[in-house]
Amino acid sequence: MGSKIIITGYRNAIVTCMHDGKRMIGLDIDTEHDKYMLGDICVGKVRNIIKNINAAFVEINDKKICYLSLADVTDPYFVKHGNSDNIKVGDEILVQVSRDNVKSKAPGCSTSIELTGKNLVLTRDAGKVSVSSKIEDPAERRRLKDLVTPLCTDSYGFIVRTNALAADPGRIKDEAVSLAAEYEKILLLAKTRSCFSVIKKAYPDYIRIVRDGYSDVFEEFITDDEKIYETLREYLADFQPEDLGKLSFYDNADYPLDAKFNISKCIGDCYHEKVWLKSGGSIVIQTTEALTAIDVNTEKAIKGKNDTQAMFRKINLEAAEEIAYQLRLRNITGIIIIDFIDMLDGKDRAELFDRLSEAVRHDPIKTAVVDTTRLNLVEVTRKKTRRPLKDQLKALDDIQKQG
pLDDT single digits (tens) 360-382: 988 888 899 999 988 889 999 99
CB atoms within 10 A of CB 138: 8
104 has a pLDDT exceeding 70 = no
pLDDT single digits (tens) 166-193: 889 999 999 999 999 999 999 999 989 9
pLDDT single digits (tens) 325-361: 999 999 999 999 999 999 989 999 999 999 999 999 8
pLDDT single digits (tens) 18-64: 999 899 999 999 886 556 678 899 999 999 999 999 999 999 976 78
pLDDT classification of 387: cutoffs 50, 70, 90: confident
Do residues 123 and 159 touch, judged by C-beta distance below 8 A? Answer: yes
pLDDT, average across residues 76-93 = 87
Do residues 188 and 199 touch, judged by C-beta distance below 8 A? Answer: no
Burial 288-323 (b: 16+ CB within 10 A, else e): eeeebbbbbbbbebbeeeeeeeebbbbbbbbbbebb
100 has a pLDDT exceeding 80 = no
The residues, any chain, with a CB within 8 Å of residue 3's CB and separated by 6 or more, are 18, 19, 20, 21, 217, 218, 219, 220
Q: What average pLDDT is seen over the chain? A: 90
pLDDT at 403: 60
306 has a pLDDT exceeding 70 = no
**Bridge partners, residue 121, by sequence:** 116, 159
66 has a pLDDT exceeding 70 = yes
pLDDT single digits (tens) 112-153: 999 999 899 999 888 899 999 888 899 999 999 999 999 999
Q: What is 303-369 written as a DSSP string? A: TT-S-HHHHHHHHHHHHHHHHHHHHHHTT--EEEEEEPPP-S-HHHHHHHHHHHHHHHTT-SS-EEE
**Rounded-to-integer distance, Cα 280 and Cα 312, Å:** 11
Q: Which domains does the chain have, with CATH numbers?
A: 1-33+204-269 (3.30.420), 41-113 (2.40.50.140), 273-382 (no CATH)
pLDDT classification of 212: cutoffs 50, 70, 90: confident
Q: Which ranges of 167-225 would DSSP assign to H, the alpha helix?
A: 169-192, 205-209
**Bridge partners, residue 50, by sequence:** 55
pLDDT at 347: 94
The percentage of the chain sitting over the pLDDT mark of 90, rounded to a whole number, equals 65
Pairing of strands 120-123, 157-160: antiparallel
The percentage of the chain sitting over the pLDDT mark of 70, rounded to a whole number, equals 95
pLDDT classification of 258: cutoffs 50, 70, 90: very high
